[in-house]
Amino acid sequence: MDTTSKEILFSREVIQKRVGELAAQISKDYAGRELILIGVLKGAFIFMADLIREISIPCRVDFARLASYGAGSESSGKVVMTKDIETSIKDKDILIVEDILDTGLTMQYFVDWLRERNPKSLKVCVFLDKRKRRKVTLEADYVGFAMEDGFVVGYGLDFNERYRFSPDIYVIKQ
């Protein structure tokens, strides 16, 4: 991808405010219960770290790694799990934390895979939701921001491992 420019979409201040709002809602919805957050690596780690610091209820954390993009900017459609969770989720409240919900193919695969392990409840929290490109009927339970289209980087999202560590979200203009 030849990147000629990037344009800010969400500033770190806007992101911080929205993460606080999501954490407050999650804390309210799970009050009196222990929640296990499962972050999807690598993209969700920054969002998840900020989110869990704002959540006011007891939480446990685990991670999985799934891949469908490879080195490109378009999903290959084939999902591969490269790191499994290490926690038993049977009869537990589970919240998947993901950076972006795009076609939905990766998330649908992961949701189905986790449901086979019989959690008490299973919900999805995504930082960015790109509904326009959805190929499955899956919807997130908690959404940071909805966006139409565009290739975005920053705040954990990368292109070939670049831009991931920016505290803002940018749209790449080609």
Residues marked as catalytic: 102
In the chain, the amino acid numbered 165 is F
Question: What distance lies between CA 137 and its chain's CA centroid?
Answer: 17
Which residues contact residue 88 at a Cβ distance below 8 angstroms, ignoring those fewer than 6 apart? 117
CA–CA distances in Å: residue 25 to residues 52, 131, 143: 12, 22, 11
Q: Return d(Cα 174, Cα 167) in angstroms, integer.
A: 21
- Position of tokens 């299973």? 122
Question: What distance lies between CA 65 and its chain's CA centroid?
Answer: 11
Q: Return d(Cα 144, Cα 126) in angstroms, integer.
A: 6
Q: Return d(Cα 90, Cα 18) in angstroms, integer.
A: 31
- The 8-class DSSP code of residue 85 comes to -
Phi, psi of 38 (to 5 degrees): -115, 110
